[in-house]
Structure 1
Amino acid sequence: MTHTPAPSQPRLLDRVRNRLRVRHYSIRTEEAYLGWIKRYILFHGKRHPEEMGAKEIEAFLTHLAADRDVAAATQNQAKSAILFLYREVLALELLWLDNVIQAKARRRVSVVLTEQEVQLALSRMRGVNRLIATLLYGAGLRLMEAVRLRVKDVEFSRHEIVVRSGKGDKDRVTMLPGALVVELQNHLNQVLALHQSDLARGGGTVYLPHALARKYQHAEREWGWQYVFPAATLSLDPRDGMQRRHHHDERSLQRAFRQAVRDAGIVKPATPHTLRHSFATHLLQGGYDIRTVQELLGHKDVQTTMIYTHVLNKGGRGVVSPLDSLS
C-alpha cells in the first residue's frame, strides 16, 4: 500500500499574502504588512509567531517607539500588520496589549505653498509629471488617487472626477478644473493610440480590482478601464505574473516635483502632497465653506479639514504684534 504524503503547508508569508488578497487589500498595504511581519519575526530571533503572543508583540512595538523613535502612524501600521497575522492567518485571539509604549503623535502644521510658489514649481515641470502635478493642485487629489485614475472616471461634460477607493476605501467626487480640460483630452487621445497599439499586439489588459476581471471578462481590455496616466512600458503584475501596462510611476513624479521645487528656489520641504494641502488652503482663503472643502478632500471628520484654517489667521492667530503698533 503506497502512502500519499500530505500536501505541504504554504510558507507563512505566502499565507499572509493570500489572505490579504482574499480581503482585497491594496498591493502597497500588502508590501507594508509583509515587511512588518518579517521585522517582527527577525526581532525575536526568527521564532515562529505561533510560539509567541502578546508579550512579544508588546516588546516589538515598544522597541519601535522607545528605541527607533518611529511616528505614531508607523507604530500603528506595524501593530495592524501583526494583529492581521494572528487574527486572520493564524486564527489566534490575543489578550489586549496593555503594556505597549505608545509612540508620540506629533502634530505638525502642514506645508503649504503660496499661489505664486505653486505657479513657479509647476512651470519648471514637463510632460506627464507636470500634468499630474497640476491635477493634484487643481482637484485636491492624493498622489496615488491621481496615478490610479481610470478613463471612465473623468467626466468632461460635468467637469467632475470620481475618485474610486480613496483613503478608507471610500469614493468621492471632486472637480475637474476647466483649465485642464483641453490638455487632458489631448493627453487621452495619445493614451488611446497607445492602448490601440497594445491591443493590436495581443495585449491591452489592465489590472482590475476586487476580482472584477472574473465578473466582467472583457473589461480589462476596455478603454474605460484603462489608466489615465499609464506607464511608458509593460511590466509583470506581482499579483498574478501577467504582463500588463501599469499606471505611471509615482516615484518619477516625486523626483520631478522635488527638482522643480529646488529649481524654483523654494525653501519649503514641499512634496507632491503639498499640492493637496495648498488646494485646500487656497479654497478656504477664497471663502469656500469648510464643509464643501471637507467633501472635496474626502475627509471623514471636519476636524481633519480644520488643520488648514491656521493659514486664515495671520501670524499669532491674527494678533497684531506690539512692534507693528510702534509705527
Structure 2
Amino acid sequence: MSSIKWQAKLIKHDRVERIAVYFENSQELISRIRKIEGAQWSQQNKVWHIPDTEENRKRFKIAPSSNYLPSEEGIAQIEKFKQWLRSKRYSESTLKTYSEALKSFLIFCNKKVIKDITHDDVIRYNNEYILKNNLSSSYQNQLVNAIKLFFKIIKDTTIEIDKIHRPKREKVLPNVLSKEEVKAILEAHRNLKHKTMLSLIYSCGLRCGELLDLKPVHIDSKRNIVLLKNAKGKKDRIVPLSPKILEMLREYYKMYKPQIYLFEGQTIGMPYDARSLQLILKQALKKTGITKPATLHWLRHSYATHLLESGTDLRYIQELLGHNSSKTTEIYTHVSTKSLQQIKSPFDDL
C-alpha cells in the first residue's frame, strides 16, 4: 500500500494490540484493506484496524521492537508447534488461537531460553499481563491449553505440566432473546438471503461458521434434516429442518442459485463473510428497536432455551447443539423461565 496516502499507528482495541490504518474514504482502498487477513472496521472509532503482526508492521513501516517479538528460538519453536498441530489435524482456528497465545507468552519471556522457563514465569505472565490488562479468564484458559500442549511436546524443559493451574471458571449465563424478539429480528429484513440466513441459524441452533460452511447438498429435503459436516471438534451431526425453513430455502435457491456454498458472498463460489452476517443482525436490531447487544450466537442460545422451555429433553438438546459434555448444555436450565414463572413471590400475599 506504499503508493497511497495513509497513516498507521498502534492502538488497543478490546484490550488487544492492533494497527489502526487511516486513509481517504475510497471504495478501492477499503477493498484493499479488507483483503488483509483479520482487518476490521471499528464503528466506535471510525477506523480500519488490522492484527499487530510483524508482517503488517513491515507493510505499514511500523518499527518492530524487542518487546514485540519472541526470541529467535521462540519464533522457531512456534513454527514447529504449528507443524505439530497440523500433523495432529487440529483445525486452523485452533492452530491460530494456540499459536497466538503461545507467541504472547514467549514474547513475555523473550529474555529467557525456553528450557529455563518455569512455573513462576507463567504466574508472572498471568499477573503482569493478563490480570493487569483485564483480559478474560477464557483467554487465560486458552493460554493454559497452549502452554500445556507446547511443553508436553518439548522434551528439554523444567516445567511440570500438571502444575500449571487454570483460572477459576466464570459462571456466566448465556444471553437469550424472547420468542417475540426473535420473531421481530427474523422478520426485520425484506432481503430473502438475509432473512433465510438468520432464520436458519435460529431454527437449527447453528454456529455462524456452521451456517457459512453449508452446501446445498447438506440440505436433505426428503428426511427434513441438515447435515453439518466437520463442525466444531471435527464432528458431523444432523439437526432437524423445519418445514417452514425448507420452503424458505427452496424460494431462496430459485432466486440466488448458489454454486458451491449455500450462502455465497459477492464472489461466486466463495462463502458469505461472517462480519457481513453480523452486520445483517445489527441492522435487524436497529430496525426492530431492540437495544440488547445481541450477537449471532444469541440466536443459538435462544434456540436451546426455547427448546428446553417447550419440554425437549436436555439430552436431545445436547446432541442438537453438538456439545461434548452435558454440563455445557445444563447451563440453559439456569436461564429457562418455565419453572421460575410457576414460583409465586411472597410479595403477592402481603
Q: TM-score, normalised by structure 2?
A: 0.69
Task: Name the counterpart of 1:229.
Answer: 263
| 1:288-323 superposed Cα distances (whole Å, 9 cap, x missing partner) | 222222221122333322222234446867431233
Are positions 1:104 and 2:168 aligned together? yes
Q: TM-score, normalised by structure 1?
A: 0.73
Change (3 A) 1:128 1:22: farther
Please show how residues 12-161 of structure 1 align to structure 2 within 5 Å. Answer: 12-45=77-110, 47-88=112-153, 90-92=154-156, 94-96=159-161, 98=163, 100=165, 102-125=166-189, 126-161=191-226
Counterparts of 2:261 and 2:347, CA distance in 1: 55
Matched residues, number: 275
Alignment gaps of 5+ in structure 2: 1-72
Secondary structure in 2 matching 1:165: strand
Change (3 A) 1:47 1:147: farther
Moved over 6 A (4+): none
Counterparts of 1:153 and 1:91, CA distance in 2: 44
Give the percent of matched residue pairs that are identical in Structure 1 and Structure 2: 30
Task: Name the counterpart of 2:305.
Answer: 281
Change (3 A) 1:17 1:46: farther
Task: Name the counterpart of 1:223.
Answer: none
Counterparts of 2:145 and 2:186, CA distance in 1: 37
Secondary structure in 2 matching 1:281: helix
Contact 1:110-1:277 at 8 Å conserved across structures: yes
Change (3 A) 1:303 1:18: closer
Secondary structure in 2 matching 1:164: strand
Task: Answer 1 or 2: higher relative contact order, Cα 8 Å, separation at least 6.
Answer: 1
Report the residue type matching 1:118 in the other structure. Answer: V
Contact 1:229-1:247 at 8 Å conserved across structures: yes
Task: Name the counterpart of 1:256.
Answer: 280
Contact 1:191-1:230 at 8 Å conserved across structures: no
- Where is the strand percentage greater, Structure 1 or Structure 2? 2
Superposed displacement of residue 272, structure 1: 0.7
Change (3 A) 1:124 1:92: farther
Task: Name the counterpart of 1:302.
Answer: 326
Counterparts of 2:335 and 2:118, CA distance in 1: 46
Secondary structure in 2 matching 1:162: strand
Counterparts of 1:311 and 1:323, CA distance in 2: 22
Secondary structure in 2 matching 1:171: strand
Secondary structure in 1 matching 2:290: coil
Task: Name the counterpart of 1:184.
Answer: 249
Counterparts of 1:86 and 1:96, CA distance in 2: 7
Report the residue type matching 1:257 in the other structure. Answer: L
Counterparts of 2:171 and 2:237, CA distance in 1: 27
Counterparts of 2:252 and 2:140, CA distance in 1: 41
Secondary structure in 2 matching 1:247: coil
Contact 2:192-2:252 at 8 Å conserved across structures: no
Report the residue type matching 1:117 in the other structure. Answer: E
Change (3 A) 1:87 1:150: farther
Change (3 A) 1:228 1:51: farther
Superposed displacement of residue 186, structure 1: 4.1
Counterparts of 1:291 and 1:282, CA distance in 2: 15
Superposed displacement of residue 42, structure 1: 1.7
Report the residue type matching 1:42 in the other structure. Answer: I
Contact 1:280-1:308 at 8 Å conserved across structures: yes
Superposed displacement of residue 64, structure 1: 5.0
Alignment gaps of 5+ in structure 1: 1-8, 196-225, 235-244
Task: Name the counterpart of 1:198.
Answer: none
Task: Name the counterpart of 1:201.
Answer: none
Contact 1:122-1:130 at 8 Å conserved across structures: yes
Contact 2:174-2:335 at 8 Å conserved across structures: no
Please show how residues 4-19 of structure 1 align to structure 2 within 5 Å. Answer: 11-19=76-84
